Chains A and B, each alone.
Chain A
Amino acid sequence: MIPAAFDYVEAESVDAAIAALTEHGDEAKLMAGGHSLIPLMKFRLATPGVIVDIGRMEGLNSIDDRGDHIAIGALTRHMSVETSELLGAEAPLLKHVASQVGDPSVRHRGTIGGSLAHGDPASDLPAAILALGATLVAKGPGGEREIAATDFFTGFLETALADDEMLTEIRVPKMAGAGWSYQKFNRRAQDWAIVGVAAVSNGSTSLSLVNMGPTPMRASAAEAAINGGGSIDDAAAAAADGASPPDDLNGDAAYRTHLASVLVRRALTEAQG
């Protein structure tokens, strides 16, 4: 399978990438590691007219301690996230979730920014940044702005990023000492989650769901139950409230609803244990 023809532009800086996006509008797509975009292009599910290659750009690939949060450059590869001692100490959920993406060869190339900007409801990292309450930084022609993770995923494979904006940084609050869990249920190694649940318990508890609707999402009803003094059983019963899980060959909506309940129970048991 070969992608449809496109024009190739290399951007050596964020400003050059934004200039290319501004010039080419919605015809252009940014490519970092390409491990979400190239598969779609090979299936011709994506046929961008212009690829703006940001994968060879210098910078935006460090993981820095900024006091109350950890800043991760958008071009940081999954393998760097999963092997980061800083994240292991301050945001172990994110380090663990990165290790669950694809397989090692995929994680050598794929980037955290690419995965988040792709906005796939079935992928792992969106759930982690939702549960962690991360902030995303986007840069466009008008400058930089911050977007809360909860406002970032707006539709199926759609995000709050404008056509001329580039995701540059992910800011993750420190959660050292907090309870956490990531429950990924799949049938085959290296596969996407059929359903996944991320939990962070740090005074209050946040919960997010993988593959339970058109976007990555918080499990708001289950959060309200557990944070309102309900039991783990109460939260598990509300796991899929407000979700609209897909039917596919891996399972129908009813099966996913059941799985979400089981996985919320496991995640809360682990995070609060």
Chain B
Amino acid sequence: MLVETTINGQTYSADVEPRTLLVHYLRDHLGLTGTNVGCDTSSCGACTIHIGGESVKSCTVLAVQARGAEITTIEGMAGDDGTLHPMQQAFMECHGLQCGYCTPGMVMAATSLLSENPNPTEAEVREGLEGNLCRCTGYHNIVKSVMAAAGSPVTIGAGS
């Protein structure tokens, strides 16, 4: 079945089986490999992308369900000139990543969170990112990054 989508402002189309998962459509058919597959069971959030500006786990969406959708992946976050998205910049400055595997999903979930709640408390960030797992357990700095991107820098874990 022909699946046509707008991804990061560009139109893509590919003929795929109905059972093709959106994450495989992105990675295997379109070569957009910035979106990772982690747990493959809707738990870890490594595959988080935006559909219509909202975070979605792309391992739990069929590509055919996304026909005609406006999709953003991690590749679409930086500006055309390579300027990082403020969330990416905050992750870099606050050391919000260790191995980096969860990072694309974290950045996508965090930007969706801020679009719904531009001034979250630290607790709201932790709750808002409950669907994204960091196996390095680097959560303090991830939360710090999101708070910095929201313009409310915090000190987390001092003395712990």
Contacts and interface: CB of A to CB of B under 8 A. Distances in A.
Interface of A: 1-8, 31, 34-35, 38-39, 41-42, 51, 53, 55-56, 79, 102-106, 108-109, 189-190
A31 to B, nearest CB: 8
Given A35-B60, A39-B42, A39-B60, A55 B19 contact: no
Nearest to B116: A104
Contact of B1 (A3, A8, A39, A41): A8
B65 A108 contact: no
B55 A38 contact: no
Given A2-B20, A34-B62, A189-B127, 20 more contacts: A3-B21, A5-B19, A6-B18, A7-B18, A38-B60, A38-B61, A39-B60, A42-B21, A51-B18, A53-B64, A56-B65, A79-B54, A103-B131, A104-B113, A104-B116, A104-B128, A105-B48, A106-B131, A109-B60, A190-B43
9 smallest CB-CB distances across A and B, nearest first, come from A103-B131, A8-B18, A189-B130, A105-B55, A108-B54, A3-B19, A190-B130, A103-B130, A105-B131
Contacts of B67: 56
Nearest to B105: A105
A118 B42 CA distance: 17
B137 to A, nearest CB: 13
A38 B56 CA distance: 14
A28 to B, nearest CB: 13
19 contacts: A2-B24, A6-B18, A7-B18, A8-B64, A35-B42, A39-B60, A56-B65, A102-B42, A103-B45, A103-B130, A104-B55, A104-B116, A104-B130, A105-B112, A106-B57, A106-B60, A109-B57, A189-B127, A190-B130
B70 interface: no
B74 to A, nearest CB: 14
A94 B51 CA distance: 26
A177 B83 CA distance: 52
A6 B19 contact: yes
Contacts of B132: 103
B41 A42 contact: yes
A170 to B, nearest CB: 22
A79 B52 CA distance: 14
Contacts of A189: 127, 130-131
B17 interface: yes
B109 interface: yes
Given A106-B42, A106-B131, A34 B54 contact: no
Interface string B22-38: 00100000000000000
Interface string B123-147: 0000110111000000000000000
B65 A4 contact: no
Contacts of B60: 34-35, 38-39, 106, 109
A34 B41 CA distance: 13
Interface string B46-80: 00100100111100111011010000000000000
B4 interface: no
